Amino acid sequence: MFNAFNNDDGMYIGDVKVDINPITPQQTGTLESYLPQVEEYLAGVREAREQEPKSIFYTKMYDEQRFYENTSGLDVDALCKAYAECDKPFVEMGQYGKRISEADYAYIQQGDKLSFSLEFDADKDEIILSDGEHFETKELTETLFPQKAEPETKVTLTVAECGEFHNFGEFYENIETVEEAIAKWKQIPPERMNGIPAIGINIHTPGTETYDDVMTDILTGNRFELDVLDYIPEIKDSPQAMEVIAELMAKAMPLMPDMKIDGDMSVALEAKIWENKCRI
């Protein structure tokens, strides 16, 4: 039997080659004396494993709960990442641990052999971490699924000789400052009949094509067309864009005594206009 198992091919369990050695009286003693030594050795291994700190985790959803001993070897951060990547975490988290009873979970958590415990409570939107001595509570959704920061946008101005059709007459874009936009707007000869000069605002998101930009004329002739912003939330809800509009209104108003405003001016916009006027 020894020769059969110990041939050239060897015997494997999975990818592990089994090391087979004969028991001989000369090397190991008799079978009667050898087996108790093996049993003693295995008992020591089991005892050592029982004394090793255990990590456990718990999931709760819709008043149903499951308790696990962590058998994956993952630490707290890795288990949190795994939870976030599961389509159905209440079901799929079982691949990272062995199901245990609530009583066993509580016993390990209250004992002195706890590596860490991790509780995912979707009902309360909480994560509770413990190292056996200290507890830390975090918001589950905010911790595992942080909102991605909105991409930074670039706000510039445009000046058109013809507000209705920008390709008629002079047209300037990518203007960085309100002063430059007003200067270009003022230099358009009033006797030209290509249309009513306009100053517009443009929002560009880096990494996108220019045809995806959000743009509208805000000053046409002697009218600030604030009512159009109700239909363009990308501009109205952009603090950066509204700051530019407030600066434009503050600096263009003194140039046009007969200026008119279409639409309602919000309290916040009016306050920004006065702030800019005070800086002039």
Please, how many CA atoms are within 13 Å of residue 238, restricted to the half-sphere of its CB? 24
Residue 167 sits in the same domain as residue 259: yes
Decide: pTM greater than 0.85: no
Residue 140: how many CB atoms within 10 A of its CB? 21
The β-bridge partners of 146 are none
Do 237 and 244 meet the contact criterion of CB atoms below 8 Å apart? no
Residue 158 sits in the same domain as residue 275: yes
Residue 62 sits in the same domain as residue 102: yes
Question: Which domain range does residue 232 map to?
Answer: 154-279
Residue 162 sits in the same domain as residue 237: yes
Q: What is the pLDDT of residue 49?
A: 66
Residue 268 sits in the same domain as residue 173: yes
For residue 160, the one-letter residue type is A
Number of domains in the chain: 2
pLDDT, one tens digit per residue, over 103-120 is: 999 988 887 778 999 999
Residue 241 sits in the same domain as residue 200: yes
Residue 128 sits in the same domain as residue 158: no
Q: What is the pLDDT of residue 234?
A: 93
Do 69 and 97 meet the contact criterion of CB atoms below 8 Å apart? yes
- How sure is the predictor about 41, in pLDDT bands with cuts at 50, 70 and 90? confident
Pick 192 or 128 by higher pLDDT: 128
- Assigned domain for 81 exists: yes
- Assigned domain for 208 exists: yes
Residue 63 sits in the same domain as residue 161: no
pLDDT, one tens digit per residue, over 216-265 is: 999 999 999 999 999 999 999 999 999 999 999 999 988 888 889 999 88
Residue with tokens 């641990």: 97
Do 166 and 175 meet the contact criterion of CB atoms below 8 Å apart? no
**CA dihedral over 216, 222, 226, 227, signed as positive or negative:** negative
Residue 140 sits in the same domain as residue 158: no
pLDDT, one tens digit per residue, over 43-87 is: 776 776 666 789 999 999 988 999 999 999 999 999 999 999 999
Residue 92 sits in the same domain as residue 188: no
Residue with tokens 């991605």: 148
- Assigned domain for 108 exists: yes
- Assigned domain for 27 exists: no
d(CA 81, CA 62) in angstroms, rounded, equals 21
